[in-house]
Chains A and B, each alone.
Chain A
């Protein structure tokens, strides 16, 4: 038996205390706040309301709509930047120095603050003077008021997110591909596998760790994002691009309904946790099945 050693706890204590104060306590506090309400705005004369806030949320069409938009955002972010990142990384595999140059260029949008990205893309999408409609009209297609059209605004804003995210995915997948030995590809080629087969049967399975990481990271990022949509559309037009983050901000900072907003926060936390665990479990189970 080794005797009790206090030192490791001293090393991790600052991090645990810090996260305790600014992350874990707030999470639990938000949960607690969700069972109370206060008579006026920001006052803290809380009274117990049980699940009343949750019942109200279920009847809040705008909240349900925002949650739905977040889910759509998760799917779009997987369908566009993640898949694109995977394809580009596969195309870059086996290249020399140019590979790193491309990866660096693709990553530059990720270093642009969401606030700046939203501003620049608002110009690109501008229906009267923006370059996108100009380009479309030049090649004979019809331009649209991208950010003012309820039916496409969410996809249009997601393109901004995809623009800033795909380079991040390329980088992760490219690093993952470096760990795959070229002999595997040679063996697959000798067995007569075409490029597509090699991609699906060699690349994808061997990139599993990187894929899990990117999927979980994408889900978390897509559920909690705020800056981009706040600046690009602020949820409009007619709330067609509103998301949970915006609702929380609106109800708390603008209306002062802290308990109601805290209830949304709690639901958001639970949804993120559940989705992440589902993805991780799904892929870990597959692993055991091999």
Chain B
């Protein structure tokens, strides 16, 4: 039996809990709004006319200008830039993923002399940026005659994500039970067979995560393409946008359209494969 006093106390405890939960929800929602607002602005601006934009950035478009997209893609020739982005990201993704899977398998499954040191050496690659290697990479590409070529954009870009890839694959492969691999070896499987038929199927989600992240990085990449692709026909989307901005500073609606064209494929990819993205991003951070 609870006294009146007790229940009042209980009620105040309840209302305190309720308050607390309301405040937490408000905070969580506020940051969700902050996260989404610029994205809203981007899409909103892309669908307005310039005149409408200058009246208000916030209001929804009265007459959505879908033709902005056709204008940018066809008349301004951005279809080509989109194609360039696709070639750059797909090639970078494949190159990085294949090499990282092989190295990850080597590091995770075997014991060999110098393993720790070699792994550490690979990891130091994480600390290297485009700007740290710009000049030698530029000169190397020049010597190889690869400035203003797809290969010239892809080769250094793939190196930037490779350390992460090797790290991620090694961590994932280490989680595969040794017994499975040993059993396959006893059954007479060669290394590549074991990798293909035993390890790969188990690691498919991990490889998928890596491939997605590498694709996103290459898609959004800017620095190497800016330096290496100075000819308009080769520029990927990210660099063409800046080119456009330089020439039409106040064509906000058109600039917005170009940003939406760059962003939308990645947004869709992310929304469809969130779990895979999340797994790839968090895995490396939390193992040892």
Residues of A within 8 A of B (CB): 5, 7-12, 14-16, 18-19, 21-27, 29-30, 33, 44, 84, 88, 91-92, 102-109, 111-117, 119-121, 123-124, 129-131, 134, 163, 166-168, 171-172, 174-176, 179, 209-210, 213-214, 217, 220, 223-224, 226-227, 230-231, 244-245, 248-249, 252-253, 258, 261-262, 265-266, 268-269, 272-273, 276
Complex-state Cα separation, A165 to B7, whole angstroms: 46
**Closest partner residue, chain A, to B27 (CB atom):** A91
List of 7 A-B pairs having minimum Cβ-Cβ separation, nearest first: A11-B106, A224-B129, A22-B159, A8-B110, A15-B103, A26-B136, A113-B220
Residues of B within 8 A of A (CB): 24, 27-28, 31-32, 34-36, 38-39, 41-42, 45, 53-54, 57-58, 99-100, 102-103, 105-107, 109-112, 115, 118, 121-122, 124-140, 155-156, 158-159, 162-163, 166, 191, 216, 219-220, 222-223, 227, 238, 241-242, 245, 252, 255-256, 259, 262-263, 266-267, 270-271, 274, 277-278, 281-282, 284-286, 288
Shortest A47–chain B CB gap in Å is 17
Contacting pair A23 B270 (CB below 8 A)? no
Q: Which of B28, B34, B110, B130 contacts A5 (CB 8 A)?
A: B110
Q: Which of A15, A106, A119, A245 contacts B131 (CB 8 A)?
A: A245
Q: Please name 9 further chain A to chain B contacts, defined as beta carbons within 8 Å, in addition to the given A16-B121, A112-B38, A273-B124, sorted by A numbering.
A: A5-B112, A9-B112, A27-B133, A91-B27, A108-B36, A108-B270, A175-B286, A209-B288, A245-B130
Contacting pair B227 A253 (CB below 8 A)? yes
Contacting pair B99 A15 (CB below 8 A)? yes
Q: Which of A91, A92, A269 contacts B127 (CB 8 A)?
A: A269
Q: Find chain B residues with CB under 8 A from A103 CB.
A: 278
Contacting pair A11 B223 (CB below 8 A)? no
Q: Find chain B residues with CB under 8 A from A108 CB.
A: 35-36, 39, 267, 270
Q: Find chain A residues with CB under 8 A from B32 CB.
A: 102, 105-106
Q: Find chain A residues with CB under 8 A from B38 CB.
A: 109, 112, 117, 120-121, 124, 163
**Closest partner residue, chain B, to A166 (CB atom):** B31
The A-B contact count (CB < 8 A) is: 265
Q: Which of B35, B126, B263, B266 contacts A167 (CB 8 A)?
A: B35
Q: Which of B107, B255, B270, B284 contacts A12 (CB 8 A)?
A: B107
Q: A19-B122, A119-B255 are in contact. Are A258 and B135 (CB under 8 A)?
A: yes
Q: A18-B158, A106-B31 are in contact. Are A220 and B285 (CB under 8 A)?
A: no
Contacting pair B163 A119 (CB below 8 A)? no
Q: List 10 A-B contacts (CB under 8 A).
A: A8-B110, A26-B133, A44-B139, A105-B35, A106-B35, A109-B35, A119-B241, A226-B130, A253-B227, A261-B134
Contacting pair B263 A15 (CB below 8 A)? no
Main secondary structure of the interface of A (DSSP, over half): helix
Q: Find chain A residues with CB under 8 A from B34 CB.
A: 163
Complex-state Cα separation, A198 to B262, whole angstroms: 43
Contacting pair A116 B42 (CB below 8 A)? yes
Contacting pair B267 A19 (CB below 8 A)? no
Contacting pair B267 A7 (CB below 8 A)? no
